[in-house]
Amino acid sequence: MPYIGRGTDKLSNVEVLDNITFDGSSSYTLQKGGSNFTPSSANNILISINGVVQAGNFTVSGSTIDFGTAVAGTSTCDFILHYGIGLITTPSDGTVTTAKLADSSVSLAKLTATGTKDATTFLRGDNTFAEAGGGLVFLGETSASNVASVNLNGYFTSDYDVYKIFMDGLYQPTYSAGDVVRMRVATTGSYTVDTGNNYYFASYTWTSSASNDNEDENGVYYTRISGSNGNTSTSAGSLELTVFDPMGSNYKTFTSLSVTNVGDVTTSRITMSSVTWKNTTAITGLNFYFGSANIYARKIRIYGVKNS
């Protein structure tokens, strides 16, 4: 039989609590049917003392009501009402519409999506959180000031397949004509020279007076990034180096693009290089150095490229 009477939206949840027997104390225990009762809050309670309805002039902690002052034992409690939250119903499946939800009412904690939920991830269509693909993740930076070489160690992990290295302000504190910045790789923590002619590379340089320039030093790969640059920071070179799959079991490949000044710093030089190292051993680090002079670098930064 269908319900006959007031609409369910008109029903209230009012509970009548046991009257208090005052004894001159300021605090008392709220009860219903002889059992301790914990109200929703002090604002949900109406109490009548000596015919005067009290509201908002007392506090509640658990099932204890405190009037803040002693209530005389001759006082009479007429009634105590607790106004609850009304009728609780469970909506049928598929009946809660967008209009029923308040703006900004759904938090990340309420989503069933798996994965890390933070400022670096996004929600995919398969209900998982993932990092955005294709972006650069800063891993660290270093510099060099008149030292024999500078190392990048401990940055290569299985988290990334591709790495970008940016160098700014590369030059020789002590000028050495015709010298170039070179790179060696490490596979076991130390940097060694591969003399087995296992590097296959190409390099092309544009200047105002020169054209082709191929570099080889007994099978040791190095990319020309400074050339015969001057010995002041105003003629320093800049380089962008890409390292592909250094931790993988395939051959290792590198590409670079550099801009430098030559000799008297009146001529610009642009060099593009690529190399394949026929070695399947994982690379643990890189070492940069000049052939016959110390190296200076204002900043060397390394980034991991996010997988798509």
Please provide the DSSP assignment of 189-213 as one string.
SSB----S--EEEEEEEE-SS--B-
Q: Which amino acid, one-letter code, is at 45?
A: I
Q: Is the dihedral of CA 33, 36, 38, 39 positive or negative?
A: positive
Residues 60 and 161 both lie in one domain: no
pTM above 0.85, yes or no: no
Q: Which of 56-65, 69-78, 112-121, 270-279 has the lowest mean pLDDT?
A: 112-121
Taking phi over 0 as left and psi of -120 to 50 as alpha, with beta for the rest, 179 belongs to beta
* pLDDT value of position 111: 81
With contact defined as beta carbons under 8 Å apart, do 84 and 15 qualify?
Answer: yes
With contact defined as beta carbons under 8 Å apart, do 197 and 219 qualify?
Answer: yes
Residue 171's closest CA among 263, 270, 273? 263
Q: 304: helix, coil or strand?
A: strand
Residues 175 and 274 both lie in one domain: yes
- Residue 129 domain flag: no
Kindly state the tokens that stand for 267: 């001529």
5 burial (CB, 10 Å; 0-12 / 13-18 / 19+) is exposed
- Residue 60 domain flag: yes
pLDDT in tens, 5-43: 545 444 457 889 999 999 999 999 999 999 999 998 899
- Residue 73 domain flag: yes
With contact defined as beta carbons under 8 Å apart, do 181 and 288 qualify?
Answer: yes
Residues 258 and 152 both lie in one domain: yes
- Residue 64 domain flag: yes
User: How long, in residues, is the chain?
Assistant: 308
- Which residues partner with 284 through β-bridges? none
Kindly state the tokens that stand for 158: 């299985």
Residue 300's closest CA among 187, 153, 184, 180? 153
- Residue 101 domain flag: no
Residues 75 and 146 both lie in one domain: no
Domain that holds residue 49: 11-83
- Which residues partner with 257 through β-bridges? 240, 272
* pLDDT value of position 204: 80
Neighbours of 273 (CB within 10 A): 25
pLDDT in tens, 95-120: 888 888 888 888 877 888 888 887 77
Taking phi over 0 as left and psi of -120 to 50 as alpha, with beta for the rest, 104 belongs to left
